Amino acid sequence: MNNKKMKFDKKKIIRIVSLIIIVVAVILLVWFLFLYPRKVFRDNERMLSEAGERYYEINNTRLPKEEGRVISVSLNTLIKQEYLEGLYEAYGNKLCDLNESNVKAVNKNGNYEYYTYLKCGNYESDVDHEGPVITLNGDKNITVSMGSEYNEPGVKSVKDDSDGSIDVSKVSIKGDVDTSKVGTYEITYTVRDSLDNRTDVVRKVKVEQRLASVVRENTEDGYYVGQAINNYILFNNMLFRIVRVNDDNSVVIVSDDALASVDYTNDGRFANSALDKWLNEYFYGLLEPRYQELVKSSKWCDDVLDKETASTIKECSRQTPERKVGILSLQDYNLSYNGISSYLNKTNLTWYSNFASDNEAWSITSTGAYPNSGLVATEKSSLLNVVPALALKASTSVLAGDGSITNPYLVLDTNIAKKSSELNKREIGEYINYSGYTFRISNILDDGTVEVIMESVLKSDGEQVNIGYTNTQKQKVYNPNQEGNIGYKIKNDMTRYINTDLFVRKTISVPIYDEKITYQGEKNVKKYKLLVTIPSTFDIFSARPNNVSDSGYWLIDSSKAENIKAIVRSLGTVTYVIASDDSTAGVKLKAYFDKDTLIRNGSGTFGDPYTLID
């Protein structure tokens, strides 16, 4: 019995001791985590208050003489002037906030009251240290049109935790808005409470010039005419020309360069044609989302015109359903033509949206005098140049530029690349200088590789490198594994003219059409993994740009039925060529930069292309 009692007493003692240990541990934990840090903070707060009052006793001439005025001395000043040593957080050597911590003296009926605010780690004094809340009339960001009058909306209310409502007349308003100049201006609103806690609120006022207003100011009837030199606009890193302003203030622009060569192929309507699909599915899909936001769905003219009226008519009798992207009509060209010339003149055949009475489509070239030899009704399966047209929303504003070719209008802020930033974070249309050649970004793939197409062609000692099919096979189809084939020569020989260190191998699709080379034509596809290749006629930037003088180059497309290949000739028009042994042309490379490629410098423009880190 006694042994059992002793065992019971031992267990009871162990439980009591354990409980005491737990209680002591909790007390110590509460002390170290909460009570001691708070005690240290209160001691620091007291020392700051005493140091501040000593400061004002010694420097009493600095005390405010006027009723309600406030003076403040910071912890930083008190330490520097040796009124106290540094104040530190508990459990460490981290100083309390030197600049926000302060002691204020307020003149109240000739007497001085002191307010101490200490900020130290997670603790701060229970003293009003925040400025009043300013509520503005209207938005903090305002946009006004250039030339309009700016009316300052002012302040709606001011409220303070200690002082309550403060008269809005106490708010200081500084800043000017010059509506005669495009830019962003700042208006600053400042107010203080009775403890001199200050609040600043900034309103940004952006002065913009609507693109539609610019067009109306620079034209007589909303159309640019003749050899206009002031209607250039940079859109998604591509140079466009402003054509006209519509009645709803949307503005039509058109690419200054042919971007590809595409067939029309449809029975008498633009809607659902191959050209329509290329423009609205492929091309529009390449535009950056921020530029897509500026594009307005519009109807585009596609009426039927005969030869006698095609060069004079200015009114449209038939339109397409709404489309994001279209092409210009002959009416647009006629309204831009001053009887001698038009800024829309190109040196190569370019599609227009109208149809001839025989169901062919009209195209224009400036190689002959318009309209006699410059206006051509063309079979719709031909591969003619495409210059996309867009209608920009009425809200589109000009942010910079004067409309010249060297300083085109900008409608969005430039997305500037930083040094050592990733190339695959850039945008379609930007320029790259690599291995002595200029490339343009034509796509950024899901795996992060960057597709690029050369502006010019490969050269050796300044002369264009020309190649041709020299294999004996009857069907000369692009094949990088067949000796004598241009694909084989590009794969094995052309890399000696260019550094390929930053390129990666990609699986390339080679289209082989059953009949004619058309955007929606029946075709077989052969796939090869290659380091370099050449573009398709349907690739963006595959057409010959205005800023190069090189002669023709091969395209990757071919037809097994007719044994013909596509070549861009020196005038810029794609022609079908029977692949005989003496058919030669240059090489405009298409390649892919590695996903880890970085930018060294440059702004991505034609005049200042990116250079890359090797």
The token duo for 247 is 């009645």
Rg, Å, the chain Cα set: 37
pLDDT of 94-153, one tens digit each? Answer: 999 999 999 999 998 889 999 999 999 999 999 988 999 999 999 999 988 888 899 999
Amino acid at 130: E
CA 345, 346, 348, 354 torsion-angle sign: negative
Parts of the chain belonging to CATH 2.60.40.10: 133-211
Please give the pLDDT value at position 472: 72
pLDDT of 318-372, one tens digit each? Answer: 999 999 999 999 999 999 999 888 999 887 889 999 999 888 999 998 767 788 8
486 three-class SS: helix
Is it the case that residue 614 has pLDDT exceeding 90? no
If you average pLDDT over every residue of the chain, what do you get? 91
Is it the case that residue 3 has pLDDT exceeding 80? no
179-187 long-range contacts, Cβ below 8 Å, gap at least 24? 179/144, 179/145, 179/146, 179/147, 179/148, 179/149, 179/150, 179/207, 180/146, 180/147, 181/146, 181/207, 182/146, 182/207, 182/208, 182/209, 182/398, 182/399, 182/400, 183/207, 187/152
365-371 long-range contacts, Cβ below 8 Å, gap at least 24? 366/341, 367/571, 370/311, 370/337, 370/342, 370/345, 371/310, 371/311
479 three-class SS: coil
Please give the pLDDT value at position 67: 87
Please give the pLDDT value at position 501: 96
pLDDT of 454-506, one tens digit each? Answer: 999 999 999 999 999 887 776 778 999 999 999 999 999 999 999 999 999 99
How many Å apart are CA 353 and CA 467, to the nearest integer?
A: 36
- Can you tell me which residue has the tokens 């019971």? 8
198-210 and 141-145 beta bridge pairing: parallel
- Can you tell me which residue has the tokens 């912890």? 75
Is it the case that residue 162 has pLDDT exceeding 90? no
Please give the pLDDT value at position 81: 95
How many Å apart are CA 260 and CA 383, to the nearest integer?
A: 9
Return left, alpha or beta for 265; rule: phi > 0 is left, psi -120 to 50 is alpha, else beta.
Answer: left
User: Is the pTM for the entire model greater than 0.85?
Assistant: no
337 Cβ neighbours under 8 A, 6+ residues apart: 225, 226, 344, 370
226 Cβ neighbours under 8 A, 6+ residues apart: 336, 337, 338, 340, 341, 342, 343
CATH topology of domain 133-211: Immunoglobulin-like (2.60.40)
Q: Which residue has the higher pLDDT, 564 or 282?
A: 282
CB 110 within 8 A of CB 48: no
* pLDDT band, very low/low/confident/very high, at 266 (cuts 50, 70, 90): confident
* pLDDT band, very low/low/confident/very high, at 6 (cuts 50, 70, 90): low
553-559 and 506-513 beta bridge pairing: parallel
113 Cβ neighbours under 8 A, 6+ residues apart: 105, 106
Per DSSP, which regions of 163-219 are E strands? 164-166, 172-174, 183-192, 198-210
467-468 and 463-464 beta bridge pairing: unpaired
